[in-house]
Every structure is written in structure tokens, then in C-alpha cells.
Structure 1
Amino acid sequence: MEVILLERISKLGQMGETVKVRDGFARNYLLPLGKALRANAANKARFEAERSTLEARNLERKSEAQKVADALGGKSFVVVRSAGETGQLYGSVAARDVADILAAEGFNVGRNQVELNTPIKTIGLHSVTLHLHSEVEIAIELNVARSAEEAERQAKGESLTSADAIYGVDEDALRPEDFFDPEADRDGDEE
């Protein structure tokens, strides 16, 4: 199906372009969300008549998204979750959780604007990309930890899943002699 794009869509085209897309993509996404019109003579005339208002609306949305991106730039958000000793979360942090965390901080970001291909399942520092507008995207940092104190330690660069963090042992201080006696008789016969 051929459609006229009413806004820039990444990997598809710019506003005003006529592009060929799959029927399901057009019927289920582009047309219902008002991102495109079917490419026919009436809609082409309608688009040309409304082009200036569409461009102004797009510019306004882009400037609002840029303001949010400027406010989010360089920020890190702490996410406290239950996790095992190895750093594996008992649950996960999904796009919905990221949107809720940002909403709690006063940022209006929808979960469909959060690019998270797979949920976060381990503690640590994770970079998450936000697509605020088709031309504005920003990366934020999520600090996933078991407590606020651990989040502070993680932010300083400390690893919370290594042996020293879990067992209170310095990994560099471990020597083979600590685990077995090299002088011991291996076959169990006493001489």
C-alpha cells in the first residue's frame, strides 16, 4: 500500500514522501495513529493544503522533545530491585518500569518511546535510549541496584557482583595455598 507520510518516520522517510509499505503496517500503525494518509489524489491535495500546519506542528513537537532531552541529558536514575548474590534480578526492569521511573521524576515519557529490546535482568549500570521524537533521541543511564547504598557504590565504579563484594574477599589476595597444602601427600598414604 502506498501512503503519504505526515511526519518523519525513521527508516521509512520524511514528511510528505509517498512510500510503499506493507498493508498491515499501514492499517494497524500508520493510519490509526495519524502518521500517514493513503496515497490517492484527494489525500495528496489535502496534504498540500495542510502542509504548513503539519510542518509547524512537527516543529513544535520537536522543540518540546528537545527541551525534555536537554533536561534529561547526562542524568542517571537509580532503580532499586531485589537480586541474588550473583547480581541476577528476581524480576526485571522493562520499558514500562523506565517510563514509570521517569514519570516519578517529572518527565513525561511514554513506554513506547523507551528503546529496550530486552528487559534488564542484572544489577549494574545500563544505558537506555529514549526516542522522544523522530529526530530527537537521547541516552540515559539506569543504575540498577539492591539498595540506595549499593547504587552509590556502583556509581563510583565499584563492582557489586565480584567475589570481594559478595563474600568480602579481595580477589587479588586469593592464592592456591589458601585452599590446599602443596606438601600434603596426594594418595592418602602416610609415610
Structure 2
Amino acid sequence: MEVVLLERVEKLGQMGDVVKVKNGYARNYLLPQKKALRANKENLSIFEAQRAQLEADNLKRRAEAEKVGEKLDGQAVVLIRAASESQQLYGSVSTQDIAKAVTEAGFTVTRKQIELDKVLKTLGLHDIKVRLHPEVAVGVTVNIARSAEEAEIQARGESVEEAAEAALNERDEAVVNVFESTADVDVEELEQVAAGEEPKDDA
């Protein structure tokens, strides 16, 4: 089917382009979303008559999207999810989940504006694209972690496993230090102190 595009469509063309697409793609996506019209004589005449207004509206929407994009680009949002020891999520993160997190961060977006090239099923930092306008897309980092503490570790670029191991080593070292500091203490003196007595001086 031949259609005339009413806005830029990635990998297809710019506003006003007449392109040939699969019937299903036109019927299920381009036409219902008002991104295109069937390229017949009547519709082409309608488009040409409205072209100046469509282009003006498009420029206005693009300017607004660019303004929002300047603030949103590079932002990070945190999603807390349950996951296994192998960092696999019990389930996956959807475009709806990301849109909600971005909206809670102060930017109103819909799930249709979130572009995922793969399903998010693991912990870690994931770079995703938010399409604010057909001609404006920005990058956002989705930080998926089991807890707020893990999210902070990941945001610093550190490995959660290495941080956990370091914390264990630190705890073990503290235990050893406590043991070593008490190793030379006279047990009898400790018992006297515990009983509220003054330690006896053997000298």
C-alpha cells in the first residue's frame, strides 16, 4: 500500500513522503496512529492543503520536545526488583514500568515513547531511548537493582558482588581485630569487672 506520511517515521521517511509499505503495517499502525494517509488523489490534495499547518504544528511540538529532552537526556531512574543470585530478574521490566519511573522523576512520558531493543531481564544499568517526538530522542539509564543500596553501588560503576565481598572482608577483619585486642586480657580481670568489682592488682 502507498501512503503519504504526516510526520517523520524512523527508517521510513519524512513528512510528505509517499512510501510503499506492507498492508498490515499501514492498517495496524500508520493509519490508526494518524502517522499517514492512504496515498490516493483525494488524500494527497488534503495533505497539500494542510501541509503548511502540519509543518508549523510539527515545528512547535519538536521545539517543546527538545526543551524537555535537554533536561531528560542522561537522567537515571531506579527500579527495585527481586532477582536471583545470578542477577536474573523474576520477570522482566516493561516499557510501562520505565514510563512510570520516568514520569515519577518529573517527566511525563507514555510507554509508547519508550524504545526497547531487548527485554530487560537482568540487574544492572541499561541504556534506553525515549522518543519525545518523531525527530527527538534522548537517552535514559534504567538502574535495576534489588535494593536502594545496590542501586547506589551500581550508579557509582561498582560491582555489587565485589562490594558485598569487600563488606564481608571488612567484617571479618573487624572480628579478627576484636579477637586480637581481647586475646591478652586477663580472664580473671574481666570476670571481676563484670561483677562490678575493682580488678585486683597482683603487684
TM bracket, shorter-chain basis = 0.7 to 0.9
Match of 2:9 in 1: 9
| Distance change >3 Å, CA 166–CA 30, structure 1 → 2 | farther
Superposed, which structure 2 residues align to 1:1-191 within 5 Å? Answer: 1-162=1-162, 165=165, 168=168
Contact 1:5–1:16 (CA under 8 A) maintained in structure 2: yes
Runs of 4+ deviating beyond 6 Å:
none
> Which whole-Å CA distance do the structure 1 matches of 2:27 and 2:18 have between them?
16
- Structural RMSD (CA): 2.0
Identity %: 53
> Which whole-Å CA distance do the structure 2 matches of 1:7 and 1:165 have between them?
53
Say which structure is richer in helix: 2
- Classify the secondary structure of the residue corresponding to 1:117: coil
Contact 2:77–2:105 (CA under 8 A) maintained in structure 1: no
Residue type at the aligned position of 1:114: I
TM-score by length of 1: 0.81
> Which whole-Å CA distance do the structure 2 matches of 1:144 and 1:161 have between them?
15
Residue type at the aligned position of 1:3: V
> Which whole-Å CA distance do the structure 2 matches of 1:13 and 1:123 have between them?
36
Question: Aligned-pair distance for 1:164?
Answer: 5.1
Question: Aligned-pair distance for 1:161?
Answer: 3.5
User: 1:20-54, CA deviations, whole angstroms, 9 ceiling, x for partnerless residues?
Assistant: 11111111111111111111111111111101110
| Distance change >3 Å, CA 163–CA 57, structure 1 → 2 | closer
User: 1:97-150, CA deviations, whole angstroms, 9 ceiling, x for partnerless residues?
Assistant: 101111212211111111113321111111111122121111111111111111
Length, aligned pairs only: 170
Q: Which blocks of at least 5 consecutive residues in structure 1 are unaligned?
A: 171-191
